[in-house]
Each structure stands twice: as structure tokens, then as C-alpha cells.
Structure 1
């Protein structure tokens, strides 16, 4: 039997009112706790977090507008500030003040949303022109997706959606650091699989820079099947620069980066 969510938590579909909260969770966990980004970009993390926060508005909004993004809310959350309680939660970041530390930024995330699983219907493709600010904030972002695309040897016709409600695209899995280690990511992932299957989706695709996320999505509960369709390791990935020299653009990060496709159709 699959583990259930503890009673203090509740899964909800994310709405426009949660966009800033979801964006802050995504930014904070990636900039300070990812196996890739804080290793690749160890300097000026608060400044980069703010840059990332501004740049991520489009992609987070796109996924919330899809109606397919889920969040876990802590029903017993205690607000830190009186003004947060009056609005049922508030992001208190001041993007003009780059002095806060990671823990201070976390303390300013005064809302009950604690884990997110962002997704959108694959038929609603991203506007790549609006993704460019993300590449400026995290230059390796574009390379991650480019390398995974080259490694994916599938015939696009074998999996790409031709209509709505066929393939769900997963992008951004994050849990507030103080809530990590309790299995919330896995519970939310498996809930998304079940909901998507019930809605008639045949598959979910996800790119991940986390070993834990890779493990969950490549080993989904029956009857679903997860397949790694492309992966590389950041320490061994190499390419030639303009001078023809071998370079390792992802070092010293040490993580497997993978693209995974989950088949939601019941196995025979």
C-alpha cells in the first residue's frame, strides 16, 4: 500500500494566488540546495536568487495557468508575521536588498505552501523567447536541456502529444528546506501520476538534476513505468570549446542529470 500524506498536510491544485510562493520555493531550493546550481554558481547567491526570481515568472505562471501544478500545504503552519496571517501567507522578500542570507530569505517565506510539483500540458509549448532571462540567470540551464535533447534517441512521434490531455511536462520539483526529508516530494509525485492517469494522460516527462527526484520518477508505483531516456554525469560530461580544447562545463558539480518518461498506461 502506498504511504499516505500525514493529516497535517493537504494537496491542492496551485492557483494564481500561489504563483509568487511557488516561484520563491523553486528559486530558494535551487540556488541554495541543488546539487548543481550552488556548486556551479557559488558566488553572490542572494543576488542570483533575485535575478532567478524575476526571470522565472513566465515559466511558473505558465504551469500554474495550466491547472496541472500541485502543491502541499501545511494546515498547521504558524505565521511569523501578523501581516502574513491577514492574507493567509506572504512572501516578504525585498528584491532591492541583497544582504539577506539563505536562512533570512527562508524566514521571509511566510506562507503554508511547503512543496511544489510544477507541470503543464505538453500541447501548450513554452515560449522560448520568454525563457531567455532564465538562461541569463543560470547560463547552464540551456545546456542541461540541450544535452538531454541530444541524448534522447526516441522518435518524437512516439511520445510527443498531438492534442490536449496526452503528455504532461513536469518542470520544477521543490520542497521548503525545513520540510525536506519527510517524503513529501515522493508523495506529491505519485499523487500527480495518479491524478494524471485518471484524467486520461498517457505519460509524464520530467528532467531532473536531483538523484532523489530521479529515483522517484524512474521507479514509479505500479502500474506505471518509468524509463530514463537520456542522462549524463556532470563530472564526466565533456565538450570542445571554440579553440578545440576539451572542457568540462558542469564541474565541480557531481550529479546525474536525467530525462525520464513515465508511462501511465497499465501494463499488460
Structure 2
């Protein structure tokens, strides 16, 4: 069906990803459904991660202002090998997305295959890359994933050499992890998993701007809590740079409990570099980054108690 805005196709169960039939009672408007992120969605979810990370994050959109398109594309290409690890999204069976069954495609060839990503078509050396760049990258995300919640098993993070390579591309992300580790108030050994199937580490949350305010991020978060409890996990930890995400994960539904473990003051945090004090996060548009634990607490470490 052609509309004035593009091609509208109603999705069926045979589309990409794996339809979740047992949502543990989590209800969504009829146009949306929860799908497991599977390997056939690899490039799509990878591009959406970095579009959300650089353009729709109040933290990174401020820090990388003026180079957002190039940074998003460079990170997208540099991360492909990282996300091929079996322990990572989209291969580990622990990550989910919200699918819009009434998504309006821009290209008929996208609709024919249930959605397509065109980020590989951009030339990083194009002098006009940043001109209207956000819209160009958004238009190239021609697929129905509108929200996502990414997870890994804390005990099985994959090859640490791949993590180190990724942190060279995203050095400020490594700074967050180091700060959380240094300021986590919990006694060492009191919460770390001793085997797989115990603790979930949330590694990405995002919702397309046009779909925000409809409660789908909150619904997906609730589903993930219930699903991981059903699988036997005892806790979830998540880092939050968005006040709305922070609110959802610090106010989980019964019987879950959570709290903020660490708060990083983005505007005032200083490190020493080449003998000088610098504030690497001072251009952030929000004042704090949190680690939260659901189980025990939230903040850098939000730990949600699933037991």
C-alpha cells in the first residue's frame, strides 16, 4: 500500500528477528510487538545503536557536536567485528527490540525484505557528509525497529581484546566504565557472577525520537526484567545517561528492587592528560551519568534484584 509518505507494509511473523509470543503480560499498542534480536538484524541494530548514541543521547550529542555523522559512521564500521562475537548482540539471544508493524518504508526494496540499512553506502570522505547529516542517516535506517534493549551475560562478555579495540574508538566510554569500577560502593566479590546465568549487563537502550513518549521503552524494560527473571538471572545492571531511562530502572515494578550505585558528575569530573587537568565530559547536555542495579541498585551500576 502506498501512502503520501511512502510505502506501508504490515509485518507478519516471518519478518526478520524472532517474534516474542510470551510477553509475561506486558501489553503494547496493537501496532507494536517485541522481537528477539537475531543475527539477521546485525547491521540494522548496529546502525540504530550508533544513531541513537550520537544523535539522540544528551551526553554524546553535546560532546561530539559538529562531527556526529562521521563519528557515528566510523564507529559503525569499526564495531562490526566486535558485534560478531557469539557473546554479543545480536548473537547471544539476550537482546530485544520493539517492532512497528505499520512502519512506513521509504523504499520499496526495503519493504520487500522487511527492512534495510543503507549506512554502508555513505562515503566518509564526502566533504558534505555533515550537511543535513542526521536526516540522511535517519532516512537510511529504513527498517521497523523503533526501540531496543541490549544485554550480555556479565560472566561471558566475550574476547576482551575486542573490547579494548572498541574502547580505542570510544575512549570516553572506557572512562565511564573505569569511574564506575573505582566508585562502586559494594564490597568486592559481593555481587559479581560466578557463572553464566546470574547477572545481566545492559549494554544499550534507545528509542527513535518519533516514537518517544509512548511508553514503549518502559514496556520493553519491564519485559526484560520479567524475561531475565524467568531465565533464572538474579540481577541486572545498567548505565543511564538519560533521565527517562534512569527513572524507569530506578522505579521497577514489584517485586523488583533497584538503586543508584554511582553517579558521575559529567560537567565537573576531571582527569589529568599530558600534565593538565581536563574535563572530558563537560560538553554533555546532562549533568550526571548513573550506574544502576536492579537487584540491589542503579547508577553506573543499577542492579535490579530479580529474585
Question: TM-score normalized by structure 2?
Answer: 0.80
Q: Secondary structure at the match of 1:63?
A: coil
**Relative to structure 2, which stretch is displaced further, 128-137 or 152-161?**
128-137
Q: Contact 1:58–1:131 at 8 Å: present in 2 too?
A: no
Q: Which runs of structure 2 are paired with 1:61-210 in the superposition (5 Å)? A: 61=84, 62-93=88-119, 94-96=121-123, 98=126, 99=129, 101-210=133-242
Residue 36, structure 1, aligned to residue 36, structure 2: no
Deviation at 1:158, TM superposition (A): 1.6
Q: Secondary structure at the match of 1:64?
A: coil
Q: Which runs of 5+ in 2 are unaligned?
A: 1-24, 296-304
Aligned to 1:251: 282
Deviation at 1:133, TM superposition (A): 4.1
Q: Contact 1:22–1:60 at 8 Å: present in 2 too?
A: no
Q: Contact 1:168–1:203 at 8 Å: present in 2 too?
A: yes
Q: 1:136 to 1:239 in 2, by over 3 A?
A: closer
**Relative to structure 2, which stretch is displaced further, 67-76 or 245-254?**
245-254
Deviation at 1:5, TM superposition (A): 1.1
Aligned to 1:239: 271
Q: Contact 1:35–1:255 at 8 Å: present in 2 too?
A: no
Alignment length, in residue pairs?
264
Aligned to 1:22: 45
Deviations 1:189-235 (A, max 9, x none): 11100111111110001112222111111211111011211111101
Residue 8, structure 1, aligned to residue 34, structure 2: no
Q: Distance in 2 between matches of 1:58 and 1:224?
A: 35
Q: Distance in 1 between matches of 2:165 and 2:157?
A: 17
RMSD of aligned residue pairs (Cα, Å): 1.9
Q: Distance in 2 between matches of 1:221 and 1:59?
A: 33
Deviation at 1:58, TM superposition (A): 4.4
**Relative to structure 2, which stretch is displaced further, 127-136 or 116-125?**
127-136
Q: Secondary structure at the match of 1:197?
A: helix
Q: Distance in 1 between matches of 2:277 and 2:97?
A: 42
Residue 57, structure 1, aligned to residue 80, structure 2: yes
Q: Contact 1:134–1:141 at 8 Å: present in 2 too?
A: no
Q: 1:189 to 1:129 in 2, by over 3 A?
A: same
Deviation at 1:69, TM superposition (A): 0.2
Q: Distance in 1 between matches of 2:90 and 2:141?
A: 19
Q: Distance in 2 between matches of 1:193 and 1:58?
A: 29
Q: Contact 2:37–2:89 at 8 Å: present in 1 too?
A: no
Q: Is the helix fraction higher in 1 or 2?
A: 1
Q: Distance in 1 between matches of 2:122 and 2:156?
A: 31
Q: Secondary structure at the match of 2:261?
A: strand
Deviations 1:5-40 (A, max 9, x none): 111100011100111111111111111121111211
Residue 212, structure 1, aligned to residue 249, structure 2: no
Q: Which runs of 5+ in 1 are unaligned?
A: none
